Amino acid sequence: MAIGVGTLASLSPGLLPRTPGAQAILTALLVALALGVAGMVRFVLRRRGFDINRRLPRVRLPLLGVMSALIAGAATLAGHWQNLLRAAMSTAPIGAGYWLRWLIEAVLIVGVLVGITRGAGWALRKLGWARGVSLAVAMSGFLYLVAAPAVVGWRQATYAGANATLDPALTQPVSAATSGSAASAVSWSSLGAEGRKFVSGAGPARVYVGVDSAPDLESRVALAVRELERSGAFERSNLVVMVPTGSGWIDSNAVRGFDRRFGGDVALVGLQYSYAPSWVTFVFGRDQAVDAARALFTAVENRIRTLDHKPQLYLYGQSLGAIGGSSVFADDADQDRRTCAALWAGPPAGRVHHAGATVLANSSDPVVHWSPALLWRAPDLTGTRPDAPRPQWLPVLSFVQTTADLLAALDAPAGHGHRYGTDQGTALGTC
């Protein structure tokens, strides 16, 4: 019964096409969770003298037949839904091989998880409850005090290493109007991996300051303003403050979009506040995005006030960058007063100031849907652009499916999921 419930939950409709491997992982995790809950329920009932196997032996076979039929029907509907999504996103449909691979991989993963659980149970019975609890407490202490910090440190070192890696395919800019050039006070190596991508290649004037470009936020903001002055960015007619995602990434589609929107008469400035993936920063360091966006925008805004020639000031952010950018302002009126216009692409749960802003949100983007409230109520999708069939909201299940889709949000075809094109710039409003 538990296996069937977990499998049925995993086959409920999601927002994006899914590989058989991704579907198998979700199915296996939900089946393992259902088995765990069922085991606890059975344990409690047995303690109260009620043995399900002895009391209800005749219903097991009919239940098995009903559950098998339900799973077959759910798989058929899931396949139809997958192909509807794939047709809307111009990708190849799935066939019978998809479900064969899903079944094999799901069974293998469940087998491994059950094996680990039973092994732990066997060890607990051998040790006895007192020793087992003592060992569990000791292991928990070890994990909390030693293993967890070690893993966090390792991951931080991994992120830092990726940030420092020099991509030989990228060339250092030669234009003095761009950070990282020989004329720039920001060295090429300090820009970080995403900063080097941002300033490389042809396009508008671009200023970028990496986490390693200066020791703290205040000095990085001051350096960004000096770079804007040195590069002649304040002499342009338009200036866009671009708030990166958690890793420091700024979508190259947005760069091309702003270049088209302003006919090249624009300067772009970004400030890296983290080199961890956006989801890590969103969960553990969201304030970094807010603090960096506020500090940079306020500094640029104050400098523009002192100029005779005042460029029009705009603000852009994608994903976590949209949250950080929108947090610059107290409310919609403050946003309208201090910017010509703002553009938010794929804002998490749509939590941005909307008045006077262009909000780009695909209906298939799990980032736009996801929030803890999705457990008990449907998301507010006002203003999203329909780009694919949208599943009916279901309590708990929609949260589970959307969480699984988050992992592949950037793997969707262009114009779907968390991928937005050059309209990130061309759709920007006017003063």
Distances (CA, A) of 81 to 199, 268, 379, 391, 401: 41, 41, 20, 9, 13
Which pLDDT band, with edges at 50, 70 and 90, does 305 fall under? very high
Q: Please write the tens of the pLDDT for every residue from 34-57.
A: 888 877 777 676 776 666 666 666
Smallest CA-to-CA distance from 214 within 230, 233, 227 is with 227
Q: Please write the tens of the pLDDT for every residue from 253-286.
A: 999 999 999 999 999 999 999 877 666 666 665 7
- % residues pLDDT > 90 (the chain): 53
Smallest CA-to-CA distance from 404 within 362, 360, 374 is with 374
Q: In this predicted structure, what is the pLDDT of residue 152?
A: 47
H helices of 165-235, where? 192-199, 217-231
Name residue, tokens 């950070």.
179
Q: In this predicted structure, what is the pLDDT of residue 131?
A: 58
Smallest CA-to-CA distance from 361 within 300, 422, 421, 420 is with 420
Q: In this predicted structure, what is the pLDDT of residue 203?
A: 84
Sign of CA dihedral 239, 241, 247, 252: negative
Q: Please write the tens of the pLDDT for every residue from 89-141.
A: 999 999 889 999 999 999 999 888 888 877 766 766 666 656 556 656 666 66
Overall average pLDDT of the 71-88 stretch: 93
Distances (CA, A) of 190 to 142, 159, 271, 291, 402: 37, 15, 12, 21, 36
Angle (CA) 412-416-420 rounded to 5° is 105
Alpha-carbon gap, residue 315 to 336, rounded angstroms: 11
Smallest CA-to-CA distance from 321 within 361, 374, 282 is with 282
- Of 36-45, 53-62, 162-171, minimum mean pLDDT range: 53-62
Alpha-carbon gap, residue 431 to 90, rounded angstroms: 37
- % residues pLDDT > 70 (the chain): 84
Local structure of 314: helix, strand or coil: strand
Which pLDDT band, with edges at 50, 70 and 90, does 356 fall under? confident
